[in-house]
Structure 1
Amino acid sequence: MHVVILGCGRVGASLATALQRLDHTVAVVDKDDTAFHRLGKDFTGHQITGNGFDRDVLVEAGIESAAAFAAVSNGDNSNIIAARVARETFGVEHVVARIYDPKRAEVYQRLGIPTVATVPWTTDRFLRMLLPEGVATAWREPSGAVAVLQLPLHEDWVGHRIVDLESTIGARVAFVMRFGNGVLPEPKTVIQADDALYVAALSGTVTDVTAAALRGPEETE
């Protein structure tokens, strides 16, 4: 398939060369023509100098026949404008925009533009490397604002209601794995030994949520 990429920084260049290795045709757009040196000598795709939200520039890049568009420039506004033009004007099926501001990413997600929120994603990757096994996020929704993780729990929480745990840690228990089965918690659900709790937490609060859960109920009162 044909893919148009806005931005020839490290991410854009890496994405372009990876797509070419997978035998897709690629066009890269960047307003700075010196950025194309990152593509290397083996890159055979199109290199277009210009603004990625300019319709004529996009047409030159082959947007009318593109199956996918990625906006990965270093500007949130440019990325989202270009992504909306690709989706709404040219009807590109697969569109994604990189967004640095997670609050903006959440708004654009509601508009139907899939986003990769760079800061929460990077934070999550660091947490996977820094924290003990079991603390890393199991899933993150597309805007990057909410993460689901298996919660390491102090043993003294056994016998307490899940709603009491939630009010203490400031996160929502999404589901419980109990004896190999998934359970949706109710207000009266009590934590049992060997339960595996998965919580939904706002990005940036994972460390605090985890620390609170690792303290016993008495320690948090």
Structure 2
Amino acid sequence: MRIIILGAGRVGESVAESLALEQNDITVIDPNADFVHTLEDRLELRGVVGDGVQPSVLRQAGADDADMLIAATASDESNLVACKVAHAVFNIPTTVARIRSADFKEKGPLLDKEGFAVDRVICPEDSVTRYIHQLIEYPEALQVVSFSQGRAYLVAVRVSEHSDLAGSTIGAFAERHPEVEMRIVAVYRLDFELTDAPDTVVRAGDEVFVIVDRDNVRHTLAVIAGQERAVRRVMIAGGGRVGLRLARSLANQYEVKLIERDRQRCEQLAHELHASALVLHGDVSDEELLTDENVGDMDLFLALTNDDEDNILASMLAKRLGARRVLALINRRAYADMMQGSTIDIAVSPAHAVIGELLADVRRGAVAAVHSLRRGTAEALEGVVHGDARTSKLVGKRIDQVKLPRGARMGAIVRGAKAECRVLMPHHDSVIEAGDHVIVFMAHKRMLRDVEKMFQVSATFM
């Protein structure tokens, strides 16, 4: 696809990097020449220096032939106007806008074709908040994504020394737990992927990806993680956009403490949160403050400031002081990669959190959902099977007859109408039917195009 991205900041850079790796034709527009040239040197894309709201700049970037425009600048107003210009002047088929204001987040007349012509709204802060809410709901998980309107889940979990899976083969573990229909699709030891064969031995500390029916998520996590403990106490470091939004949503259900360095911002937070959360003025990396506020009793410590280094230091300190799980908001991808497998349990990037929401829009074929995993190196795709035995590569085929790329594997088949659909774990003799939703795990993004082709029907399909 030919995609124009407005803004070479953190969000624009992450989106450009992800989409460029999939061999899309990417052009990035930004008024900062240094940002543009840096991206051109690092990625296979074209850069244009200028204001992306100007039609002349968009034309220079190839808007006449573009398939999609992603407006990801820091200004809601610029993003909205750019989408309007892209639609009205160049008739670009799909427009995406990064918008923070709540007034523009709901689809309505302001965003339809007669308004600002925005097809999809993305907000990194909202995406991070949803991500953290899932981790609170499933506290043993490292990542939780859903498919088929929430019927099937793919969860990542780190195996503890108390887990029944630790020291066991995948096959033996499945035999001991026949009560749960689940499929382990990947096992990672540090950054090395192990085979998902039945004789693979899993160790404590390994990262496991498992697909399971919605009703069995909690039990599966408890069995693999080796423990189950609900979140009751949360400490948030940083009272910015994400910190405030999260504190507001959690305060009535959990015991919440929020630490903010800026005194004026503290007063504003205290006013907005009222008595539903305790707002503290201080440095998030102050060991004495964290100790006095009993960080060791916290079920979840969230470092959500705008400074990567502060978030890393605060998270590592909180973990050392006894916090059960810690999460650090990290914008720089290099930092996030370094923190995986460290004392920090979860590192999440705001920009990376929105990428999965864009992926389905740039896919070919019958793709219902796409989720980015392991910091963008792996993916899980939900494809819809169309056609018949004559026009489809999948209809009527047994699982062992489907030739997927090496490293890609079928995780589940979702079959039936929405209200009565079933999640089936595929076996070698399972037969794929028209209308099935098939969830495929891919260890590497380079497999994506080959997997997408599996869901395409021949030209004779009507």
- TM-score between both structures, scaled by the size of structure 1: 0.69
Q: Distance in 2 between matches of 1:128 and 1:9?
A: 30
1:162 pairs, out of 390, 402, 423, with 402
Q: Distance in 2 between matches of 1:57 and 1:101?
A: 27
Once the 2 structures are TM-superposed, how far is the Cα of residue 68 of structure 1 from its aligned partner?
2.4
Q: Say whether the 8 Å CA contact 1:29–1:61 is kept in structure 2.
A: no
Once the 2 structures are TM-superposed, how far is the Cα of residue 85 of structure 1 from its aligned partner?
1.2
Q: Say whether the 8 Å CA contact 2:410–2:426 is kept in structure 1.
A: no
Task: Name 1:95's counterpart in structure 2.
Answer: 326
Deviations 1:137-194 (A, max 9, x none): 4x6657565332312456431359433x426xxx712324287631156xxx897443
Q: Secondary structure at the match of 2:281?
A: strand
Task: Name 2:355's counterpart in structure 1.
Answer: 123
Read off the aligned partner of 1:41 and give its amino acid letter: H
1:120 to 1:152, Cα distance in 2 relative to 1, 3 A: farther
1:6 pairs, out of 220, 237, 242, with 237
Task: Name 2:269's counterpart in structure 1.
Answer: 39
Q: Secondary structure at the match of 1:147?
A: strand
Q: Secondary structure at the match of 1:21?
A: coil
Deviations 1:57-77 (A, max 9, x none): 323444244332101112333
Q: Say whether the 8 Å CA contact 1:7–1:71 is kept in structure 2.
A: yes
1:190 to 1:67, Cα distance in 2 relative to 1, 3 A: closer
Once the 2 structures are TM-superposed, how far is the Cα of residue 120 of structure 1 from its aligned partner?
2.7
Q: Distance in 2 between matches of 1:35 and 1:208?
A: 48
Q: In the alignment, does 2:409 pair up with 1:177?
A: no
1:199 pairs, out of 432, 440, 444, with 440
Once the 2 structures are TM-superposed, how far is the Cα of residue 11 of structure 1 from its aligned partner?
0.5
Would you tell me which structure has more helix in proportion to its own residues?
Answer: 1
1:125 to 1:23, Cα distance in 2 relative to 1, 3 A: same
Q: In the alignment, does 2:312 pair up with 1:80?
A: yes
Once the 2 structures are TM-superposed, how far is the Cα of residue 5 of structure 1 from its aligned partner?
1.2
1:191 to 1:129, Cα distance in 2 relative to 1, 3 A: same
Q: Say whether the 8 Å CA contact 1:83–1:97 is kept in structure 2.
A: yes
1:205 to 1:28, Cα distance in 2 relative to 1, 3 A: farther
1:135 pairs, out of 344, 347, 368, with 368
The more displaced of 9-18 and 109-118 is 109-118
What is the aligned-residue identity percentage?
A: 18
Task: Name 2:282's counterpart in structure 1.
Answer: 49
Deviations 1:7-55 (A, max 9, x none): 111111112222322251413233x3343355251434132232x2231
Gaps of 5+ in 1: none
Q: Secondary structure at the match of 2:405?
A: helix
Once the 2 structures are TM-superposed, how far is the Cα of residue 90 of structure 1 from its aligned partner?
0.7
- TM-score between both structures, scaled by the size of structure 2: 0.37
For the pair shown, which has the larger CA radius of gyration, 1 or 2? 2
Gaps of 5+ in 2: 1-231, 416-421
Read off the aligned partner of 1:182 and give its amino acid letter: M
Q: Distance in 2 between matches of 1:42 and 1:60?
A: 24
Q: Secondary structure at the match of 2:313?
A: helix
Q: Distance in 2 between matches of 1:105 and 1:46?
A: 28
Q: Distance in 2 between matches of 1:100 and 1:174?
A: 32
RMSD: 4.0
